[in-house]
Amino acid sequence: MSLADLISLLPLMILAATPLVVMMVIAVYRSHSLTAVITGIGLAAAFISLPLTSPAATGRVTMLLVMDGFARFYIGLLIAGGLAAVLLSHGYLQTYVGACEEYYILMLLAVLGSAVVVASGHFASFFLGLEILSIALYALIAYPRLKAVGIEAGLKYLVLAATSAAFLLFGMALIYAALGTMELTRPAAFIYHAPAGGRSLLVMAGLIMLLVGIGFKLAVVPFHLWTPDVYQGAPAPVTAFVATVSKGSLVGLMIRFFSRVDLAGCGPIFAIFTVIAVASMIVGNILALQQQNVKRLLAYSSIAHLGYLLVAFLVGGAMGPAAVTFYLIAYFVMTLGAFGVITVLSDPQREAEHIDDYRGLFWRRPWLGGTFTAMLLSLAGIPLTVGFIGKFYLVAAGVSAALWLPVVVLALTSGIGLFYYLRVVVAIFARPPQAPAPAAELPLAGSLTLAGLTMLLVWLGLLPSILFEMIHRMFI
């Protein structure tokens, strides 16, 4: 391995070193704030190192990792999402009665695992990164050990994630048996270039098993059943992390996995993705209509949003991946902002997760009420919001490839989604039955994070072309 290769791996090395530093510090001196500061510095340093490694970037680093522009971009997005979750966590954990320093170690390991996933060029590194991410999430979801609902959510995620890992491993074994290689992009390319009658059953079966494992992590239909229970049972900042960083890493991996093929030419795989996209949009939105719990509502909403995203994923060329990446960034901002409001109003003893908890929020806390409203309207795809711009790009990509069924379903189910988002907005602006009580002071880190996310929401909604051009150049 050359010096240039080591420099290319600098962001990953910083992400791996930071939890070790945190462990050594808390072995000597336990301090919640100090641990949070070290964690934030480590994530910021890893983020800053990304552009610094660009001149030394060599692309593939050994057989396992690919540190190209795509990997650096997605790693930066995941680190930014992880940093936002860490900042939101600090205020949330202030009243936690147990030791909370280990929480930040787990969060750092989860970010490291997600970064390894998007930089993977080999099944071995993909599975290693995925297990680092998953094992950290098992503990994070159940971290408030005194809450039975958290323990239940952690166990459900553990059992189902272990099952999905078995599908992934068996799928990798079948692909290796058929092709004799574990290079990440080879199976899809083989299916695309092989004639219909010459497609290997082993490769097809292996790809389908891989899609089952990835579908679980993305929480798309029919692999979505764990989502509402885990979202409800996990601490609010962890739910934000699972909804964004965890899923974003798998989206990046899928783009790399199918980067060299046109899915429309892979008949069975294309059909599977189309069914999953349509089912996720319909099921996610319809089930969200029935929810009175805001976290469960956002859980089903996230299923629908992944379905929207898959519409552009079906499009080949540069336009589809570019539209997917833009919408994913918008989804990060909107979802982190929505769960950020839930986080600053919650604590480990009780979470503000019912719609009634937000009744009259605008009159009690005008800034929080306005922020939550902006995030919800953007998730609904109201014009002049980044959610609308993102859906416009998805529809444009789908229309360019004549994907009429997914595009029509996207438009119709977005109308359904408007209803349940507006139901929460109406509660936010409802007049409280009595004069609002004096509002408690909000945590500084959480408030600053929400302010930054709100500014990003406005910027991406008003000037989306700057980001989209940057993304588009990455895929040309």
What 8-state DSSP symbol labels residue 244?
Answer: I
Say if residues 265 and 192 touch (Cβ distance below 8 Å).
yes
Say if residues 53 and 7 touch (Cβ distance below 8 Å).
yes
Half-sphere exposure of residue 458, counting CA atoms within 13 Å on the CB side? 8
Q: How far is 375 from 335, CA to CA, in rounded Å?
A: 7
pLDDT score of 350: 81
Say if residues 14 and 39 touch (Cβ distance below 8 Å).
no
> How many angstroms from the chain centroid is the CA of residue 195?
35
pLDDT score of 260: 67
Residue 80, C-beta contacts closer than 8 angstroms, at least 6 positions apart: 47, 332
pLDDT score of 19: 94
Say if residues 226 and 156 touch (Cβ distance below 8 Å).
yes
Residue 78 CB-density burial (10 A; 0-12 exposed, 13-18 middle, 19+ buried): buried
Q: How far is 148 from 429, CA to CA, in rounded Å?
A: 33
pLDDT score of 55: 63
pLDDT score of 379: 93
Question: Among all chains, which residue has been given the structure tokens 């499009």?
Answer: 315
The continuous run of DSSP H or E covering 61 comes out as strand 59-61
DSSP string, 362-394: HHH-HHHHHHHHHHHHHHHT-TTSHHHHHHHHH
Torsions phi, psi of 176, nearest 5?
-65, -40
Say if residues 112 and 132 touch (Cβ distance below 8 Å).
yes
Per-residue pLDDT of the chain (476 residues; tens, 9 = 90+): 677 778 888 999 999 999 999 999 999 998 888 999 999 999 999 999 988 877 656 677 788 888 888 889 999 999 999 999 999 998 888 877 778 889 999 999 999 999 999 998 888 999 999 999 999 999 999 887 767 888 888 898 998 888 889 999 999 998 888 888 888 777 766 766 665 544 578 888 888 898 899 999 899 988 888 899 999 989 999 999 999 999 999 999 988 887 666 666 677 788 888 999 999 999 999 999 988 899 999 999 999 999 999 988 888 767 888 889 999 999 999 999 999 999 998 877 788 888 888 888 888 888 899 999 999 999 998 888 899 999 999 998 888 888 889 999 999 999 898 999 999 999 999 877 665 555 567 788 888 999 999 999 989 888 888 888 888 777 65
3-state SS assignment for residue 85? helix
- Torsion sign over Cα 351, 356, 358, 360: negative
The single-letter code of the amino acid at 140 is: L
pTM of the model: 0.93
390: containing domain: 3-475
Say if residues 246 and 133 touch (Cβ distance below 8 Å).
yes
> Structurally, how many domains does the chain consist of?
1
